[in-house]
Amino acid sequence: MNFARSVWKILVAIKDGMVMLLLLLFFWAIYALLTLRPAPGMVRDGALYLPIDGPVVEEKTRIQPTALLLSGSRPQKEYQERDLVRAITAAASDSRIKAVVIDLEKFGGGRQVALANIGAAMDKVRAAKKPVLVRATFYQDGGMLLAAHASEAWVDPIGGVAIAGPGGTSLYYKALLDRLKVKAHVFKVGTYKSAVEPFIRENASPESKEALSAVYAALWDNWQADVKKARPKADLTLATGDPVKWLEQSGGDAAQAAVKAGLIDKVGDRTDFAKRVAALVGADPAGPDGAFVHTKIGPYLADRSEPTAGKAIAVVTIAGDIVDGEAGPGAAGGDRIAGLIDKAASSGDYAAMVVRVDSPGGSVLASERIRAAIDRVKAKGLPVAVSMGSLAASGGYWVSTPAQRIFAEPATITGSIGIFAIIPTFEEALAKVGVTTDGVRTTPLSGQPDVIGGLSPQVEAVTQSQIESNYARFLSLVAASRHKTPQDIDKIAQGRIWDGGTARQIGLVDQFGGLDDALAWAANAAKVKEWHPVFLGAANDPFESLLEQMAGTDSDQGDATAGDFASLVALRQSALADRLGADLSRLLGGQGAQAYCMECAGVAERPVAKGEGRGWLAVLAKLIG
């Protein structure tokens, strides 16, 4: 009896403790929700301080609680390009802001077009006679592109600059699959559609190298032109052509080598940099030695409300892989985006629509659903323009076809008009361990596709026929959009990728320009003089912000991006694990017909938050989810 009474007391105590814990979490959550969004009026006279401790993206990724648990890491901060551009541009004319300060210590990278747009905003601040200061321990290509636009670029004494340029290696699995007796059945149309090559070749095809070489050259020329325009005295030749000799001339001191080359202005640690900023904008008496008065991006944007006058122009963002279902933001779920578009079209609230695309494509079905929804907008008489970011390829081009005007940048990657599908089968691998299959079929398609027993010839023929049919439809959509014949489009299609400059020359793009140019065109086409953009589906989610606060960020724990060349090697090793996981998902994920530009990943790779998709649990969850 005494034992039972003791057990009961323990159970009651556990229950009371859990109730108390839940109450504490409840009240903490209420407090967090009330303090999530920065309030206006918090802007201090001093610097606009932007510690970009994460990747710059077109659209921030929505945090999924299950993925957060399975990934084994905390979510990393992401910074939307348009938020950074808006804040920096506003600072140029804001009398309270004396300087713009950008800290790239834990910078997560960004695509070339996005970083060039931020650099252009920095130029506006400098044109307003305000200093723009940038610092980092170690600059890579993306960070250097931003630092070039600074009035003062600082590097840590133990840091430096390493400019790699576009290019690199890809993984090929054919020999491994042959050894494992796994058959990768590939169905495709497009001589240049190299997305399937890792599973059927041991190296890149000549056609793949031809297309990539042309795009790499164009992007590299654009990068160098941007840096040279911002820093005319910078010597890129030695730094990129013979980095060993470049370092030897400075006795192995990478920081001094960067200064001598005109890439960096000053060498100093974080404290030296902070004291310099404090001398320009004022010291913060409430902070430690060297602290300067500043305002961060959240409070600043809250204080600088976006325009609401005039007619509204809808902006729908298609960022990340195009997938079936409701995925996103950060991924382009076909059903989610089509729903946003249809709701906007039926509301009667918008004078026009601009589709912002920053995607390598993906599911044919999802791409078609988005395209059809955009077409319904146009059928209602609303002008539609497409603004391509760094990447609008394959399915990213498919969704662009309804546009009356397509805008792109010279460094945009587009094209990749082609279709493929991959179905692995394991009959030979299983036969080696004594597993075979047998059964009864009523038709040639019974039980097919059979990944255990193998594909029948009829299934292979039907699948290839569907891929060819989808490709023919893709050609017809592009031909109608570009006012050409499908035969004309086929000559520049075949899965080949193009840089924005070449795409304009061959008629896949109408004109150079960014999102603002596309909005201005849409407003003019709608015959409205006063207007403002409305980004569909961009409302802040309080629950997601709460998750961010509860989980913290990787930057709280330190990040390898803050290091030197050795830490860059470590990051490359981590990226290899991510690449293996992505390729495994592509082979085994059962994704159906794809209008996807896998080769674009090496040219304009979307910055990946640290730990995103990492770990076998996360990979398996993606495969079975």
Q: Residues with catalytic annotation? A: 193, 394
Distance CA 170, CA 163 (A): 20
Q: Residue 256: which H helix or E strand, with range? A: helix 254-260
DSSP, residue by residue, 333-382: EHHHHHHHHHHHHHHT-EEEEEEEEEE-EEEHHHHHHHHHHHHHHHHTT-
- Phi, psi angles (nearest 5°) of residue 394: 55, -115
Q: Looking at 52-209, which runs of residues are DSSP E strands? A: 56-57, 79-80, 97-103, 132-139, 152-161, 183-189
Name 279's Cβ contacts closer than 8 Å, sequence gap at least 6.
none
Q: Kindly list the distances between the CA atom of residue 125 and the CA atoms of 88, 98, 262, 266, 581, in Å, as whole numbers in the listed order.
A: 7, 10, 21, 20, 42
The two structure tokens encoding residue 441: 């079929």
Residue type, 73: S
Query: Is residue 345 within 8 Å of 312, Cβ to Cβ?
Result: no
Which candidate, 294, 292, 223, 322, places its Cα nearest to that of 263? Answer: 223
DSSP letter at 318 equals E
Own/partner contacts of 32-35, CB < 8 Å, gap of 24 or more, are 32/546, 32/549, 32/550, 33/542, 33/546
Q: Can you tell me whether residue 272 is helix, strand or coil?
A: helix
Dihedral (CA of 599, 618, 566, 236) sign: positive
In angstroms, the CA 51 to CA 419 distance is: 41
